[in-house]
Amino acid sequence: MKTRPFHIFFRFFSISILLFSFSCNKTETKDYTIGFAQTGVNDEWRRAMNQSMKIQTSLYSNVELIILDGEDNIENQIQDIEELIAKNVDVLIVSPVKSQPITPIVEKAFNKGIPVLIVDRKTEGQNYTAYLGGDNYQVGVDAANYLASLSNERKKVVEIRGLSGSSPALERSIGFKTTIEKNDNLEIVKSIEGNWESYSIKDSLSKVLNEIKDIDYVFAHNDRMVLGAWEVAKEKNLHNKIGFVGVDGLPGENGGIKLVQDNVLLATILYPTGGDEAIRLAMKILNGESVPKNNLLETTVIDFRNADIMWNQFNKINQQQQDILKQQSTIDKQEETYSSQTNILKLLLGLLITSILLGAYSIYSGYNIKKQKRALELQNKKITIQRNQIKKIAEKVKISNEAKVNFFTGLSHEFKTPITLILSSVESLSDNKLIRDNKLVQEVGLIYNNSKRLLRLINQLLDFRKIEDRKFVLKASETNLFDFTNTVFKDFEREAQKRNISFSINCNNKSLKVYLDRNLMDKVYFNLLSNAFKFTPNNGSISIDIKDDFESNYVTIHFKDSGIGIPNQELNNVFKAFYQGTNNNKSSSGIGLHLSKEFIDLHKGTIEVFSKHGAEFVLTLYKGNAHLNSDEIIYLPDVVDSAVLSFNVDYEEDIFNQDAVLNDDERYSILIIEDNPDLVKYLKGKLTQEYSVHVSDGSNGVEMALGLIPDIIICDVNLPDKTGFEICDILKKDLRTSHIPTVILTALNDKESYIKGLESGADLYLTKPFSFAILSQSIKTLIYNREKLRYYFVNNVHNIDTSHFGPLEQEFISKVNKIINDNLDNSKFSVENLASKLNISRIQLYRKMKAIMDVNVSDYIQNIRLEKAKILLQDSQLTISEIAYATGFSSPNYFSTSFKGKFNKSPKAFREE
Ligand code: FRU
């Protein structure tokens, strides 16, 4: 439908072009062709004949004339006629060189149905349409009668004949002889044979003139031969004695009429060429008119009496012919102009038609476009309305989906805390030396294993959500591949033993290191091995094969089992989410392999599966780190994710076995900010033995921290009032609490939460469920580091490099030092004064100084005074009393006692030294 208007337009266009080109060509085609096989064109008579034919033909605009020159040669003429037959001419005109040899080819044309007109010379028989030519018999008769009329005495005549075998020569001779025989005064004494040309008779005539002395007349069959005869006679000085008569009577300088006027000839018998009559006759034949078979042209004698008249007449005719030719050429030119103007007109007409068509088409297409535009606008409106509706629905769906997913994610997070408690309690139980009952141990193991399984499933669900949200960013660190693999391998060794499964690990390059996100890769390994163990029967085999392709830039890890395998047609689907194999009825979430593939994709690696006897999963990983972005590479130690720790964590014995309960004052204090009562109960129960434990449910976390200034804070993230990140941030920015190591406990283990934790200034970030052993060890490490720092301060109190502190501590110590130094000579400057200048309470100042440098504030002030005094004793000329007052001692005696107490020397002794 769409192409139709174009189609119509092009049809009109091509029709107009066709019309135009057709009318252009029409003037060039002719309706008829007349073919003329001419004897030859060597003489004037033939040329005059051709000329009159051409002039006559030019009067018919629909006729074409083809003249072929036979060169007075029979073979040539036969060929010419063949050619004209082949051209399928409408009329064939022939002037035969000789009668007999040309007759068959003329008959051939005639029998083919081509009308044949014989001119001038005849063929044999009657197989042609018509004959046209001068009456040659009459020519002979006229010549004889003319000679007879000249005298009453008896005269001797020599006849010179034309080409033997040509009809004019024969007929002229008969006419001449017959008439002479009837006349007693004339006698033909010799008859010479020529070929129509003057050279052909010269020798034989010369002989005759030598032999016969008193010849009176010479009659030659044409003017060319008679002129030759006259020349021969002249040579013999006989030309005035002999009278010459010729035939043709052509006008023009070398023609017979001129020869008569010049007294060379007595007379010439007019023999018309008949060229114009021949064309007229041919046209009659073409027009289907009947024509007589024999058409004889009249002849006449031209001698001194009518030569001038004839000459003038011929000149006039000639002039008229020239005029006709001129007119013809003018007509031709006009026709040409007319034709080209007609063509231009036609072209213009064509263009006009085309432009009208184009205009019509453009109106039509404009209308169509308008129509289509309107339809499109309407459609567009509809689409916009639909799109808005879809948008609204999508928004609703998104909100509802988000709510569902948030609920689902929140619920998953909620699951993690109770599982943490179960796992940690089970850990304690398994460690409890009182449990010796085998059955109980088994049951505890069962609880532990299933809790871990539950935890893994929840983690997988959370991972799936994160993968969906594209929230995973690889945290790859350089890892020894064999060691890493071996750690996971060990986790499964016990099950392999139990089920008598041959479980092996092979590696061709144990020192190979690759960049792995250990947390994610651990999940991949765990998933592949769990599946292998799930589907491999007892007594089967499972192997891990690490193949370092030394030649290339990658390493492959093969996990092969002798289990039930995977049907071939399902191999492509195993990595799709929620896919369940058809050949097993073991329950599965269907996301483990999907996650594995996503995790391997994050590593820019590949995971493939093959199944022949059992299943084989092949991981391909790049060596080096060129394939990773800089933000995917971490150089920090990995965050410990206790979810992947094995059941056999080596606990430090003494954590749980400290019998001696220390006094609150001697013990380090811990503030737990957590709103889950179970977790609080659990942690309190575990930590009370060693630490002085204080608890906040989150509603007053900051206040309690400021009041207590504890040695360590453990803080949950999801709290009712402020989040754990916010609490940590406030405490770390407060001078009074900024030094306290803070551990964040959370169920959120994504990268953003981890970064948030770091930003809030947390010292440690543990994801739930955490291992108590790790928490306990971390608390110890944090306290130990703090102690180390304190030890350093105590021993370098006057030479403290503040760069060991956090920024707030640095500022705090600088402030303290500046205030003390500003008041160095003020003996009344007290701890209270210092605290108030720092805008904190005396007790907070005391605790802060104790916490970060383990010093008593007044001791610290005293130390600075004494250190300054020591310098003044060394470098100044001040007296000891002056130095005592300058460094804020109320009396020189008190200064001396204090100085001796610190440096074991009196100021005087020190100065003397
Ligand atoms: C021309 C011519 C004439 C003559 C005629 C006879 O070729 O020789 O001189 O009259 O032919 O066919």
What is the reported pLDDT for 379?
93
- 594 and 719, same domain (yes or no): no
How many A from CA of 302 to the centre of ligand 1?
Answer: 17
What is the reported pLDDT for 100?
95
- 625 and 741, same domain (yes or no): no
Nearest CA to ligand 1 atom 8: 196
Nearest to 168 by CA among 207, 194, 146: 194
Q: DSSP letter string over 76-137?
A: HHHHHHHHHHHTT-SEEEE--SSHHHHHHHHHHHHHTT--EEEESS--SSS-SSEEEEE-HH
What is the reported pLDDT for 422?
80
- 671 and 646, same domain (yes or no): no
Structural domains counted in the chain: 4
Nearest to 640 by CA among 744, 489, 490, 519: 519
The two three-digit tokens of residue 206, written as one number: 């010369």
Q: Which residue range is the domain that position 889 belongs to?
A: 802-912
What is the reported pLDDT for 654?
27
CATH code for the domain in which residue 196 is found: 3.40.50.2300
Rounded to whole angstroms, the Cα distance separating 348 from 355 reads 10
How many A from CA of 726 to the centre of ligand 1?
Answer: 137
In this prediction, the residues of the chain whose per-residue pLDDT falls under 70 are 1-29, 406, 410, 413, 428, 430-438, 581-589, 635-666, 748-751, 788-807, 854
Does ligand 1 have an atom closer than 6 angstroms to the CB of 168?
yes
Contact 813, 855 (CB under 8 A): no
- The ligand 1 atom at the shortest distance from the C-alpha of residue 225 is 9
- The ligand 1 atom at the shortest distance from the C-alpha of residue 167 is 12
Give Dmax over CA atoms of the chain in angstroms. 206
Chain CA centroid to CA 676, Å = 62
Does ligand 1 have an atom closer than 6 angstroms to the CB of 142?
no
- 642 and 689, same domain (yes or no): no
Letter string b/e over residues 67-98, b meaning 16 or more CB atoms within 10 A of that residue's CB:
bbbbebebebbbebbeebbeeebbbbbbbbbb
Does ligand 1 have an atom closer than 6 angstroms to the CB of 45?
yes
- 781 and 808, same domain (yes or no): no
What is the reported pLDDT for 805?
61
What is the reported pLDDT for 642?
32
Q: Does any domain span residue 338?
A: no
Last residue of a domain, one of 795, 826, 851: 795
β partners of residue 186: 155
What is the reported pLDDT for 192?
96
Rounded to whole angstroms, the Cα distance separating 231 from 218 reads 12
Does ligand 1 have an atom closer than 6 angstroms to the CB of 44?
no
What is the reported pLDDT for 760?
80
Nearest CA to ligand 1 atom 6: 168
Instruction: Burial-class residue 255 by CB neighbours within 10 Å (0-12, 13-18, 19+).
Output: buried
Q: Does any domain span residue 59?
A: no
What is the reported pLDDT for 658?
29
DSSP SS3 for 664: coil
- 570 and 597, same domain (yes or no): yes
Last residue of a domain, one of 613, 634, 654: 654
pLDDT tens digit sequence for 530-568: 889 988 989 999 999 999 988 899 999 999 999 888 888
- 648 and 666, same domain (yes or no): no
DSSP SS3 for 219: strand
Does ligand 1 have an atom closer than 6 angstroms to the CB of 196?
yes
Does ligand 1 have an atom closer than 6 angstroms to the CB of 711?
no
- 168 and 259, same domain (yes or no): yes
What is the reported pLDDT for 28?
53
Rounded to whole angstroms, the Cα distance separating 444 from 448 reads 6
Chain CA centroid to CA 278, Å = 76
Rounded to whole angstroms, the Cα distance separating 680 from 144 reads 167
Does ligand 1 have an atom closer than 6 angstroms to the CB of 121?
yes
Q: What is the pTM of this model?
A: 0.43
What is the reported pLDDT for 8?
52
Q: How many CB atoms neighbour CB 320 within 10 A?
A: 11
